Amino acid sequence: MSLDNLARSAYSEDHEAFRQTVRRFMQEEIAPNAAKWQEDGIVPKSIWPKAGELGLLCPTVPEEYGGLGLDFGYNAIVDEEGSYYGGAATGFSLHSDIVVNYIISYGSEEQKREWLPKMVAGEVITAIAMTEPGTGSDLQGIRTTAKKDGNHYVINGSKTYITNGQNADLVLVCVKTDTEVQPAYKGVSIVLVEADREGFKRGRKLDKIGMDEADTSELFFEDVRVPITNCLGEEGKGFIYLMSELPQERLSIAVSAQTSAQKAYDMTVEFCRDRKAFGKPVIDFQNTRFTLADLKSKLQVGWAHLDWALTRLLAKQLTPEEGAAAKLWHTELQWETVDKCLQLHGGAGYMNEYPIARMWRAARVTRIFGGTNEIMKELIGRKL
């Protein structure tokens, strides 16, 4: 099984050379430990500096801040190889594809010099805290506040479903710096909170249906004081910043979803060739062949669309609606693929010792995070 037989149009020879480094890391460092990390319920922080040393973290960071100054295509390759060969939700994509972009795009010079080199090296793990117990996709409705007190903000509130929550050293927290202004989105800001600040507390590592190794947590802020200089960009512009970065975030989800679907398909073809029923391989039954043929056709279309979207993003032309459509389509394809592939495994598919079972459980959340697929349809529909 390999991704190498796919003819990709979005990548250069340099991208593909980088892929080999990423693949070795995933095969040697991630895959052998994935089962243990799932059992432990967390990916150890010790793996991050190893990834950083090879340039796998935040490849888009400019060289002046310790990065490689590469394009998002390198991030996408890390996502693809991690989904196909790694088999564990490491939290790298949240850190490299989402959080770092906010600091690159909106951070002060001081913030960039303080945090970017450490993020590239894996010395600092980051998270972004948007969702609250009562607020999901509607970020204008957040209740966590940051009130000015002299030259500090005092932050109070709680967040939930936060990726990298237990491991994070730095959290970008979405807060209301103005609770009275209308429209409400003008009161949203993003504030950097270091994990060693007094009053910052980590709650439970949440018990999920799948992605058991993924560090998904509650976070609490009780009179957390941070300097006003910890505000990311301009006060009150947080919502605009969040919306402007969503196309890349959603394309990142689409990349991993497409690759996960391909992995499930490839494993299932192999399984159906080996498994026998009524004296012949399962793949010799017409139903099996037709199901796999249908999935193969959709995967072929999916890769073509993904390369189109990546090319658009690299040219800074991918619109929010196109990013939403990519997230919607590829996660729906992922779910269809893993569900039908599990069915073709028969009873074995329901056993956690088979990778397809873990992939099926993990796939369920991709239609929820990054904005639910219902919200994706709403966003696309508004522009009709």
The Cα–Cα gap between 160 and 289 comes to 43
Annotated catalytic residue within 132, 213, 235, 249: 249
**CB distance 173 to 159 below 8 Å:** yes
* Alpha-carbon distances of 207 from 133, 213, 305, 322, 340, rounded to whole Å: 15, 10, 34, 33, 26
34 token code pair: 């994935």
Task: Tell me which residue has tokens 């990013």.
Answer: 323
175 token code pair: 């807060």
3-state secondary structure string, the chain? CCCCCCCCCCCCHHHHHHHHHHHHHHHHHHHHHHHHHHHHCCCCCCHHHHHHHCCCCCCCCCHHHCCCCCCHHHHHHHHHHHHHHHCCCCCHHHHHHHHHHHHHHHCCHHHHHHHHHHHHHCCCCEEEECCECCECCCHHHCCCEEEEECCEEEEEEEEEEEECCCCCCEEEEEEECCCCCCCHHHHEEEEEEECCCCCEEEEEECCCCCCCCCCEEEEEEEEEEEEHHHECCCCCCHHHHHHHHHHHHHHHHHHHHHHHHHHHHHHHHHHHHHCEECCEEHHHCHHHHHHHHHHHHHHHHHHHHHHHHHHHHHCCCCCHHHHHHHHHHHHHHHHHHHHHHHHHCHHHHHCCCCHHHHHHHHHHHHHCCCCCHHHHHHHHHHCC
The Cα–Cα gap between 15 and 22 comes to 10
Assess whether 222 carries a catalytic annotation.
no
**CB distance 63 to 55 below 8 Å:** no
Which residues are the active-site residues? 249
